[in-house]
Structure 1
Amino acid sequence: MNNTQPKLSLGPVLYYWSRDTLFDFYEQMIETPVDIIYLGETICSKRKSLRTSDWLTLAKKLAEAGKEVVLSTLALLEAESELKTLRRLCENGQFMVEANDMAAVNLLEGNSFVTGTSVNLYNTRALTQLAKLGLRRWVLPVELSRDTLADMQATLPEGVETEVLVYGRLPLAYSARCFTARAHNLPKDDCQYRCLDYPDGLTLSSQDKKPFLSLNGIQTQSACFYNLLPALDDIKSMNVDVLRISPQSRHTEKIVEIFHRCLQEPGNLAEDTVRLQRLMPMESCDGYWYGQAGMAEQAKAAISELG
């Protein structure tokens, strides 16, 4: 832990975007005040807009622009070809790797690595064990509360940083089945790459027409956007090292700017929280942070307290 200002990170793009869209997106991110950029495909190995060599080339370009680059791995591996790609990422020899499952952790033993939200680290005993293997930063599992984080921060292993998702759809679950293909009555092996049609996921509504979940291939996300900007002072008080923003197809650069401004000028937090709400295509949620149901929202009360 440290008492310095937390850094801003940009998580891996969770959706299937075209090659040109990805390159244009990261070209734009170079100009933002984000400190750390995670690169790579974490959802489905069929999404091959960029090959492994392309990701590595992009990583070098971003690093030359002054960004800290981390290579992210798949969260669910099902084939030998996916293990081959995983081994190449883990053995890249230049960039730190975000392990999104325990197979990656095993391959990364002895090297510095990050664990993503899909690695279930729920106590400091687990963190201590992974720190012995090379863990240098962990991302808080999204279902854990601020109280749990506070307890874990108090006994965090030396040399291990903490990263918290502060904005984006919540990654909830993974399955061997592709839900996007199923929504179009297509088999997973012949999905026709329908994920390309949904640059921010396919919204699933409840019977009363309320947005409930977002389908992203094999991943299930929340429809609402997790937003911890109103809790920024609380997060900083716990000496969190990195604040993660999950990329969206629109307004990511504006979202980064808002979080950066609030870190530099905390007096504008209430006003910027309202600005951020206007950029969201769906309602926000923050229930997990407060130990409540994930879909709950405490932000309005927090905004009121801010004045």
Structure 2
Amino acid sequence: MKLTLGPVLYKWEPGAWRDFYFRIADEAPVDAVCIGEVVCSKRLPFFQDLLPEVMDRLGAAGKEVLLSSLAFVTLERERKQIASLARDADLLVEVNDITALTHMAGRPHTIGPYVNVYNEATLNWLVRNGTRRVCLPPELPASSVGALVKARPDVEVEVWAFGRIPLAISARCYHARLHKLTKDNCQFVCGKDPDGLAADTLDGQAFLAVNGVQTLSSSYANLIENLPDLASMGVASCRLSPQTCDMAAVSEVFRNVADGRLGPDEGRHALDLICDGVSFSNGFLKGAAGARYQTLVAAGSG
């Protein structure tokens, strides 16, 4: 099974952003790395000039590099940015908003988790238009994942296996509103929360996390104990979404479990230590409440 590192979803300082990917290049046993701005186009100028050296470093380390597009396109400049990415990029583009497909014109590309690929008909249509790999939306249960893999064994199907789960994205910036700022004059306050801002219920129970215009889960998805079942279904790749914990160590644990050098329960314990104090969830995969954590039964059983 392959491992893909998704794009950084948060606003990190440019130096920290660059150093993160340098370390991934040097130490993380991942096969592919997605880079680019997915959440807010206003963040892109902070690291845009660093993209060439990061791509070179990752490529030299033998990683496949993909350029991720925005997940929610609302402005003219964002539409132009998407068109430019599709037209000029030398690397494989990961499409996260369906409007980007109008610019791909049959060019090979991948589909990110923000595009709703829920059934075989959608998957077949995407493949006819040049899609090579699909990262499925994280809310899909195992039964749907298995059906999509079976429908197109010629296409790499990827699942969201680690990190806060993207739940919604909006034209409004929740970070700016919280700090009594406007979206146009946000002062990039989202940078104060490099793992997202926790949002609890009135009873003080962990509920969600806010990331600018994006809403994420409070818990981290963690499918480490489900890797054997996913492999038996034919899932080609697992996606690890960057958090401020040691992602090189996280990817090492996933690699060892996927390759059979570490048991799934041992992998779960190792991740507990790496992500000290973080709650995990895998309920979506079981078809249960997404915030729950439970072990997936063997593929094909009830």
Taking structure 1 as the reference length, the TM-score comes to 0.92
**Counterpart AA for 2:4:** S
Note closer, same or farther for the CA distance 1:66–1:282 as it changes in structure 2 (3 Å cut): same
Q: Distance in 1 between matches of 2:264 and 2:281?
A: 17
Is 1:250 aligned with 2:245?
Answer: yes
Alignment of 1:64-79 (within 5 A): 64-79=60-75
**Counterpart AA for 1:162:** V
Q: Distance in 1 between matches of 2:221 and 2:265?
A: 17
Aligned to 1:189, what secondary structure does the other structure show?
coil
Is 1:127 aligned with 2:92?
Answer: no
Q: Distance in 2 between matches of 1:178 and 1:76?
A: 13
Shift of 1:72: 0.1
Match of residue 211, structure 1, among 206, 210, 225? 206
Match of residue 219, structure 2, among 219, 224, 231? 224
Shift of 1:267: 4.6
**Does the 8 A contact of 1:285 with 1:298 survive in 2?**
yes
- Percent identical among aligned pairs is 37
Aligned to 1:91, what secondary structure does the other structure show?
helix
1:141 counterpart residue number: 137
Alignment of 1:57-68 (within 5 A): 57-68=53-64
Shift of 1:104: 1.0
1:289 counterpart residue number: 285
Aligned to 2:117, what secondary structure does the other structure show?
coil
2:300 counterpart residue number: none
Shift of 1:266: 4.8
CA RMSD of the aligned region, Å? 1.5
Q: Distance in 2 between matches of 1:269 and 1:148?
A: 23
Structure 2 residue ranges without an equivalent (≥5): 298-302
Q: Distance in 2 between matches of 1:218 and 1:105?
A: 23
1:3 counterpart residue number: none
**Counterpart AA for 2:109:** F
Q: Distance in 2 between matches of 1:292 and 1:270?
A: 21
Shift of 1:263: 1.6
Is 1:113 aligned with 2:99?
Answer: no
Match of residue 180, structure 1, among 175, 179, 185? 175
Deviations 1:184-232 (A, max 9, x none): 1111111110011010000000111111000001110000011100111
**Does the 8 A contact of 1:11 with 1:37 survive in 2?**
yes
Is 1:50 aligned with 2:47?
Answer: yes
Q: Distance in 2 between matches of 1:245 and 1:60?
A: 21
**Does the 8 A contact of 1:17 with 1:49 survive in 2?**
no
Q: Distance in 1 between matches of 2:95 and 2:252?
A: 28
Show structure 1 runs of 4+ deviating over 4 A: none
Deviations 1:35-79 (A, max 9, x none): 10000000001112112x532442233112211000000001111
**Does the 8 A contact of 1:286 with 1:298 survive in 2?**
yes
**Does the 8 A contact of 2:199 with 2:208 survive in 1?**
yes
In terms of mean alpha carbon deviation, does 112-121 or 272-281 score higher? 272-281
Match of residue 236, structure 1, among 231, 242, 245? 231
Structure 1 residue ranges without an equivalent (≥5): 1-5, 303-307
1:265 counterpart residue number: 260
Q: Distance in 2 between matches of 1:55 and 1:111?
A: 22
Q: Distance in 2 between matches of 1:164 and 1:77?
A: 24
Q: Distance in 1 between matches of 2:241 and 2:107?
A: 25
Alignment of 1:179-198 (within 5 A): 179-198=174-193
Shift of 1:284: 0.8
2:91 counterpart residue number: 95
Q: Distance in 2 between matches of 1:259 and 1:58?
A: 23
